Amino acid sequence: MVIIALILHTVGHKIVATKNYAVSEFRLWNVQGKKGTLPVGIIIPLLFSFVSNGAWNVPLTESTLMKEIPALRSKKKFKYLTNFEMGVIGLAGPLMSILVALIFKAANLPGFEKFIIINYTIGLFALIPFSTLDGARIFSASKYLYIGTVIFLVATVLLMQVTSLLATIVFALILAIILTSIAFYKSV
């Protein structure tokens, strides 16, 4: 189930990357060090599982390598991907994960509860603004886009437990717009 959830997350990146004349490749989350690459995307889930004696399930963490397609980018204003375009491509993965969780929650199919949890865990974990995770790209694109995204996705995950699909999306969106607007106006 985790593999399917990661594939769907990656498909979200690929769809938006294609719209921006770029390609998106799945990469296991690695951190570059002086002595080489550390596969943090595997180490963190194993560590959480070990420390919690299997109670906390953190999925493998992926990052996305984005490259522009130069021949097609000639149609765009900028030859290379801008920070904002990379942020939007990064945003597509967590949104896809939450969308899949919402669809399966609305379908109310027996036996898919774990799949729903895996999807929203992947979506929320990817929002951590660190290294090459989606959250860092979104934050780099716009801190207000990041704030709105985090509020929307966290509110969606919380509300989907207690209310209908439509109410979840509407309330989460309204909350994200209001709180992001407050953050924006306080900084001006």
pLDDT tens, residue by residue, 64-90: 777 777 777 777 777 778 888 889 999
Model confidence at 100: pLDDT above 90? yes
Residues 6+ apart with CB under 8 A from 68: 20, 21, 22, 79, 80, 81
Do 95 and 12 contact (CB within 8 A), yes or no?
Answer: yes
Residue-level pLDDT at 54:
66
The reply to whether the predicted model has a pTM over 0.75 is yes
pLDDT band at 170 (very low <50, low <70, confident <90, very high): very high
Cα of 148 vs its chain's centroid, Å:
13
pLDDT tens, residue by residue, 32-72: 777 777 777 667 777 777 777 766 666 666 667 777 777 77
Residue-level pLDDT at 60:
60
